[in-house]
Structure 1
Amino acid sequence: MITPLPTTGADRFFSDLVDRLASLRALDRPHPLSVHAAVASLKRYIAEDRHRIRLHDLLVDAVDDARARWSKSGVSLTDPQPTNASIPERMNAYDASLETLIALGLELGRWGRPEHARLVTEVLARLSRRDPVRGSTYNLWSDLWPYPATAVFYAVGLGALEADNFELLGTVAAAQMPTDRGETVRVVERLVPTLLVRDKSNLRALFNSDHYTPLSDWLSQLFRPLVAPHAIENDYFDSFAPLFDRFEILLAVAYRAFDRGERGWAPPGCWAWRHENHQKIQGQLKGELGDLGQNAPLMRTGWFSSNDQAQKALDEIYAFASRLNFY
């Protein structure tokens, strides 16, 4: 026998349900069940090469869906004017539209192989492609246009780092992708957060305060509940911040590996102001080079032909960080 809900309980239940559906519609998020179904499909397709066309179509369809969602939310290069309200609204609209793609990216990073890097790069290129625009555009909106590709790149990278999948991480970071000017650059030279918006004061509205690395901080906030839902921020046993900082340090090392300039600059991330994490991770990477040689994570990325080259890049990052004065 089914016991009917009391009237007040039923009213509250349906009222809450309506509110939740309204919230989903407001940000135009994909339904959670559709996200789970997409992830389940990816796991099936990625296991066997005979499903490579289905895997490709799954990801391309997810890109098209994300672009349609953020466009429907009013995201464009021409309006509205960037303000303290519209900047976080735009970022939230991007994140909501990317929910499926980020979930797919995390799993692709965990289970993908180096040969999947080409597919990942196609996804990143499709996400960052600009549609033709008539008239003038706002500089900040133009700078942030590749952000969805950056978020998915982080999803793949964090998933790969979690799974010790340095071969895929290294291949994706080093892959070539197009720019708006028709040139090609490496993914790590195009999508690292610091490279998107050079003037961090333009992003003050994200947190209503000045941050050294506002876009990295935003991404850290986005991925924490997805990657380590039970980790407590600023807790001694927090497992997420060291993982996130290790990933961003690896991106800085990759940038130095491919930048032949003598300035020693590298894109700072959260590690640049989380000094204890930075020093610990730097020591771990050096120790791995000494103990594991060619099997060290940095060598497995394919960015270096010798341990000495990898060591030099690490030293450059350490020297650069000491000049930042992020205290």
Structure 2
Amino acid sequence: MIEPILSLSLCVHANREVYALLLGSGISRSARIPTGWDLVLDLVRQLAHLSEEDCEPEPRSWYEQKYGEEPDYSKLLEQIAKSSSERNQLLRSYFEPTDEEREEGGIKVPTQAHRAIAELVKNSYIKVIVTTNFDRLLEIALRDIGIEPTVISTSDSVEGALPLQHTKCTIIKVHGDYLDTRIKNTPSELAAYDEPLNCLLDKVFDEYGLIICGWSGDWDEALRDAIRRCKSRRFTTFWAARRRLQGQASELLNWRQGVFVPIKDADSFFTELNEKVQALEELNKPHPLSAKIAVATLKKYLVDDSHRIRLHDLVTQEVERVYEATSVERFPVNTQFNEQELIRRLNLYESISEILISMFINGCYWGQESHQSLWINSLDRLSNLSYIDNSIRYEPWHNLRLYPALLLFYSGGIAALANQQYNTFYSLLFQPIVKNVNETYPAILSLSTTAVLKSEIARKIPNMQNRKTPLSDYINDLLKSSFQELLPDENKYQLYFDLFEYIIAIIYTYELQCQFQNYYSFGQPGRFAWKRWYTKHLNHLGDVNSSPKDKMEKANWNCELTKVVDFLLELGYFQGVKEEFLKIQNFYGERIDKLNWD
């Protein structure tokens, strides 16, 4: 039989934002947050202390005998703390950590469960959370990763809230918030909800599957009634608990025809669920056949002008798919950097872009001048994923959002050079415009390996720790299989990869000098710069002792380089004068010679 946690993980992964969470006090147990009833009993103890009476061992019984009624949260607060400010400070002491508690760690701060839930929200798996808890640990965990949840804690807030489908995350606090004296604790308070809240719960329980954790089901009569009112079984209910359910909880699970999920605790449960869903996401890469079908369709449309509209739709639809899949909601920029997240994001970006990369390679290799606008507009679209408010960005993640565009830049540029589509190559360099907060630059000045990932960070990629040009080497290895059909000879692939990086480095250097009078900076050196056959300025054949293989590589290099430079000169670039190119080439070569690669 399949383990319940595996079934749950598969369901959550396959049904984004279809499951809602129902969380009880057990979710905050490891943070030492008191339950509502714990809070009431402690207030009774304080009242007894003020009355100079002993209420132990049964504070509730003492209160009922003395006052002739059940202890009521609001009345207790009013008697113990007379002003709203006093009440506010009193409640904060139960839910907010002191300096000593912060130093001790783990007390009254988000738990592993809260953090894992926040990750599920960030990755668009969970959207709605119903909780009986008063604390704000979920809100804190979400804000820490850049998500501002919509919080509904009163009937008034139900009326003014956006529809559930229009928020990134909605937290419904059915018993209220700890800073609101209207929170519900007593059996009479928990017996019924106001009509607006009932209507909202009816909608949640009808339209969403449920994942229940940390809730016993014993005390919350109104919440039990809300679950029973729902007769639909659209999606499965999963109830996670440390022990087999009994009583009211068991009846509710049977009513929902749900699945019991045995767990050790809430922290390990949500951590495992998040990890398994992430594992499925990384496994769920496009099937290679998908890319092959897309490329075959692309080639068919390229050769027949009557298919120009279909070609346009084919490419732009894939671009939009990538654009949506790499949104800032799925890849938030203001979370702390760590190595595991770097590798996860790289792999996800590559998986999402895989089909478009194959289309781009074949389009820029086989396409004609009439098709150039497709590749330019596509690169332009994806180059502006990173155009967001700099005040909220965390630099590594912000810059990494350009990674899909960088892969397309390399793919299209290398393919165009390999088939002497120099006009396409030149257009890719200058016509896509990358917008920054106050400035715009062509792709040549914006898309580079170091602009996307600084070398010291790129060396955290597996097997790139000791590389001189880590991201360049990584992309070289990554794209090799995508070029297999067009460039089956690995030497030719390496030639055009290095040629692409060299030409864009020379042009970048020239642009800096012409546009900005910057005579100190120069284009980012790619992997060509440290190759064993490299000699002073890359356009010489080297010493007479070079091996035949080295001489052949250099001869091929110079032949291809000359073709590109002649095209650029004919276009009027480098002022249309070869000496101007040679001056920039010598300047660049001298700077590269001074680099210490050791």
TM over 0.5: yes
Aligned to 1:178, the other structure's residue is in SS state strand
How many Å separate the matches in 1 of 2:331 and 2:304?
37
Task: From 360, 379, 384, give the equivalent of 1:124.
Answer: 379
Corresponding position of 2:525: 268
Superposition TM-score, scaled by structure 2 size: 0.45
Give the conservation status (yes or no) of the 8 Å contact 1:28–1:69.
no
Task: From 487, 499, 503, give the equivalent of 1:246.
Answer: 499
> Is residue 333 of structure 2 the alignment partner of residue 62 of structure 1?
no
Corresponding position of 1:183: 439
> Is residue 417 of structure 2 the alignment partner of residue 164 of structure 1?
no
> Is residue 563 of structure 2 the alignment partner of residue 306 of structure 1?
no
Corresponding position of 2:356: 101
Please list, as runs of the form range in 1=range in 2, the aligned pairs for 1:217-228 lying within 5 A after superposition: 217-228=473-484
Match of 1:325, as an amino acid? N
Give the conservation status (yes or no) of the 8 Å contact 1:194–1:268.
no
Shift of 1:278: 6.6
How many Å separate the matches in 1 of 2:493 and 2:526?
14
Give the conservation status (yes or no) of the 8 Å contact 2:537–2:586.
no
Shift in alpha-carbon separation, 1:178–1:62, aligned structure 2, 3 A: same
Higher-Rg member (1/2): 2
How many Å separate the matches in 1 of 2:423 and 2:343?
35
Aligned to 1:185, the other structure's residue is in SS state strand
Please list, as runs of the form range in 1=range in 2, the aligned pairs for 1:284-299 lying within 5 A after superposition: 288=559, 296-299=563-566
The structure that is helix-richer by fraction is 1
How many Å separate the matches in 1 of 2:339 and 2:557?
42
Corresponding position of 2:65: none
Give the conservation status (yes or no) of the 8 Å contact 2:282–2:348.
no
Match of 1:245, as an amino acid? D
Shift of 1:308: 1.8
Match of 2:564, as an amino acid? P
Give the conservation status (yes or no) of the 8 Å contact 1:242–1:277.
no
The structure that is strand-richer by fraction is 2
Unaligned runs of 5+ in 2: 1-277, 541-554
1:168-193 superposed Cα distances (whole Å, 9 cap, x missing partner): 11221122413232532121111121
Corresponding position of 2:123: none
Task: From 237, 252, 257, give the equivalent of 2:510.
Answer: 257
Give the conservation status (yes or no) of the 8 Å contact 2:353–2:404.
yes
Shift in alpha-carbon separation, 1:314–1:139, aligned structure 2, 3 A: same
RMSD: 3.2
Amino-acid identity (%): 26
Aligned to 2:433, the other structure's residue is in SS state strand
Corresponding position of 1:6: none
Aligned to 2:459, the other structure's residue is in SS state helix
Shift of 1:104: 0.6
Match of 2:295, as an amino acid? V
Match of 2:529, as an amino acid? A
1:134-183 superposed Cα distances (whole Å, 9 cap, x missing partner): 98332100111111001011111111122122221122112241323253
Aligned to 1:212, the other structure's residue is in SS state coil
Give the conservation status (yes or no) of the 8 Å contact 1:27–1:73.
no
How many Å separate the matches in 2 of 1:289 and 1:319?
22
How many Å separate the matches in 2 of 1:298 and 1:165?
13
How many Å separate the matches in 2 of 1:278 and 1:93?
38
Give the conservation status (yes or no) of the 8 Å contact 1:56–1:119.
yes
Corresponding position of 1:16: none
* Number of residue pairs aligned between Structure 1 and Structure 2: 296
Corresponding position of 2:212: none
Shift of 1:106: 0.7
1:106-142 superposed Cα distances (whole Å, 9 cap, x missing partner): 1012112344333222111211323767983321001
1:62-81 superposed Cα distances (whole Å, 9 cap, x missing partner): 112223444599433234x3
> Is residue 338 of structure 2 the alignment partner of residue 83 of structure 1?
yes
Which structure has more relative contact order (CA 8 Å, sep 6+)? It is 1
Superposition TM-score, scaled by structure 1 size: 0.78
How many Å separate the matches in 2 of 1:266 and 1:273?
15
